[in-house]
Structure 1
Amino acid sequence: MAEIPGFCDGNPLAMLELPQSLKPLIAVAIGLVVYASTTIMGSPHFTLVTALLLFFLSAFFGDMLTAFFHFGFDYVFPYWLPILGPIAREFREHHEQPTLDPSNYAVNLTKGAYASVPLSIFGILIGWNGEDLGAFLVSGAMVGMSFWALFFHQIHAYAHMGSHLHPEEFNARVAEIAQLADQREQVRQFDLLFDTLPIPRIIRLLQRSRILLNPAVHNLHHVKFESDFSSVNGWSDPLTNPLFKRIARYYKKKNAARVEPSEG
């Protein structure tokens, strides 16, 4: 995962990055989600059954989308890429300083808005013809994904509660938990760790019911950084983990070969 020191030196494009906080963008994102949602709900295909179907489809695929991007930022995107490079650097620094502040709504929602806005637009364009059931389902799923995307970083922040747990203390506990052979015991120990934090009751309930990302499950990612990349609810992890684990180990070996001096 480590970037070669100086790899992006002298590349002016590497300096291009998105603003951390952009309140007008948040307003646009919320407006698009509301408009797109009312359009979906006004369709003749919108029923209780299709609403439940769209909820689960959007939650699953929204979760999977965050997993693919998270993996990309952890392992694939180099720092010298414009826009994506600074995000990759931030993701990798998060491994060293795993602190996120759920009270920093402007930053958390801005990061979500960057993904939410295009998803809302695509959903609106796909669902322009409201007579086709297939288009309705695809459009509705995209709109639902735009909702999850808007809040994904806020959800991720609640899975860390970093403003209340010092990075050194957290990393020390992760190192201890990583030594446990039984993954179920690892999850139990993470549960005990996060029980000490002032997570709001409704958020904790949604985390424990796996509607939102469960801290104990997500922080398995911080044991070896090879699995559990999702940032919405973790539903897609059983499907993506086997793939990401193999590719992550490949990248680890590749990076180790690049930075270690050759023998002889």
Structure 2
Amino acid sequence: MPGYESDRFVGLSVADIQELSCSICLNVFRDPVVSQCCRQTFCRDCITDWLRENAACPYDRKTLTVNELHKPPRVFEVMFGKLEIKCQFSSNGCPSVVPLDQLSQHVDSCPYDASKCGKCFCEQTSGHDCIQALLALNRTANNEIKTLNLKLDSYMTRVLYAVNIPQPSTSIPVSIESILTTARSERFNAVIFGCDMKDDFRHKVLVIVAEELMNDIQLGKVCKNIVHKLDQKFGGYWNCICDHKDGVSRYFTYLNGSWIRCKIGQLTFDIYK
């Protein structure tokens, strides 16, 4: 998209317009970028389109690629963003004059946009009904959310599958009962591999782990009970992953936050929120 028409700007002199104009479209810069070779400024779209057909800068004819275009200095961006510009719907009667860096926000909700309804700001079509238009917009948003959730579920399935692949064992198999017996005897002697919890909070979490090790003979249920108790006591959603010699057992939900990795006997726990 070419630059802004110069007559839309308020308070710019002829000299200012010349300084702030793209040498390709001859309009005031839109999304300005600077070439590496000659430090000349262009509209991003203008110079990008130019370089699709040419291998040289249009200003000094030196070799130039899109990767050699950079943002202008911060001081220029700030100054440029403060320029006052008329709304693009001024011909429809919009009287607004806004700073350039607020133009997009204004245009999105401008009541003078003839292509949008002045009440609901949806696209204006033949027989437009605001309620139906908003319902359609809501359905579209819900469909997009469902699509994203499906992608997320697929991603998490792949992650869980990768983590749950049994590792080849080079030692004599040890029964879960034996592993649990060892862990129970060592439940108050956890070895901490990593933790971002404060000492008192870490102690409370380890006490819950020690208690739940005594309450079930299935590691999956141990993890599940640890998660439920942490959710009830500290708010959730917590996660607990228990890893041992013969595989992985877990109860899994996910969010990010506090975490601890510790080993009790032959069991390694990853607990996080």
Tell me the TM-score range normalised by the shorter chain.
under 0.3
Q: Larger strand proportion, structure 1 or 2?
A: 2
Higher relative contact order (CA 8 A, sep 6+): 1
Q: Larger helix proportion, structure 1 or 2?
A: 1
TM-score under structure 2 normalisation? 0.20
Which structure has the bigger radius of gyration? 2
